[in-house]
Structure formats: C-alpha cells, structure tokens
Amino acid sequence: MILYHASKETVEFPEIRKTRYTKDFSWGFYCTANLRQAIRWANRGTGILIINYYAFEPVPGLSILKFDHMTDEWLDFIAACRNGQTHSYDIVEGPMADDTIWNYVNDFLSGTISRKQFWVLAEFRYPTHQISFHTLSALNCLTFDRSETIYDQTRKK
C-alpha cells in the first residue's frame, strides 16, 4: 500500500515527536492513503508543499487498531487522545476528525450536544483517512519512496 505524508520538507526518515497538542490518535507520524487529502494537508500554512511517498508493509506482531468508520468507539478514542491520554497501539488507522468534526467533538465533550446530535452533524462530512505510527517498530513498516513538490492552484495565498 502507498501512503502519503504532507510536509514542508522531504521526510526520508519519519519520526514520532511529542508536541504541545495531541492529535486524533495521540502523538505519532501521520499518513493517509488518499493523495487528495494529503494535498489538502500540505496546503495548511505557508511554504512549499511537499508530499512524501512511502510503501507500507505491516509486519506480524504489531498492535494495530483500525476503525473502518466513525463509530462510538472511534469518537471515544479520539476524544481521549485529544484530551492527552496515550495508548499502547503501534499503529492506529481510521477516519480523521478535521477541524469541523473536532468542533463537534468539543461540543460533545462539554455537554453542549449529545452523542446523537454529534452523529447527526458528522454524518455528511466527506470520507477521510489517516494512519498513525506510534512506535519505532511501526515506523519500520514504512519505506521511503520519494517526495515531490505539489503546485496546487487552489492554494490560498
């Protein structure tokens, strides 16, 4: 499987970095199997747009959590991760909570909307995909292929 990682630089050797903010599946190295989504990710901020290409070949023995769709379990997992909780999975794969979905998650966590209302709001969001790598063993499943600069005409200047 080919995966894409958006960046402002070539990332031949992926790293897991603990940052100020946690992401959907906690700290990790994030990729997607959707090239259009990777280009959208690259379009955030300023600078050059680079898409890094990796071959992904999972190895036996890794702890992998996969969400095929947005479910209650997915919602609870990303809510916990976004609140700073960690997990013991090597790889986590599933839909992403983009900014709009994350606003709904915050509303759900604060009690502003119910779980049922969250699902009504989230139902019509476009399909997304992300896969995150959380250990060195997981990163060893990626083989860097190449990077390329993307010239996207829809980018805001």
Evaluate if residue 154 carries a pLDDT over 60: no
What is the edge-to-edge ordering of all strands in the sheet holding 29-31? 29-31, 130-133, 91-94, 64-66
pTM for the model stands at 0.86
Q: Give the pairing of strands 50-56 and 64-66.
A: unpaired
Delimit the domains of the chain by residue range.
2-149
Backbone angles phi, psi at 41, to 5 degrees: -60, -45
The span from the CA of 148 to the CA of 53, in Å, is 8
DSSP code at position 44 = S
Evaluate if residue 103 carries a pLDDT over 50: yes
Contact present, 115 and 109 (Cβ < 8 Å): no
- State mean pLDDT over 23-46: 88
Residue 102, classed as helix, strand or coil, is: helix
pLDDT at 157: 47
Give pLDDT tens digits for 135-152. Answer: 999 999 999 999 999 875
The span from the CA of 62 to the CA of 53, in Å, is 22
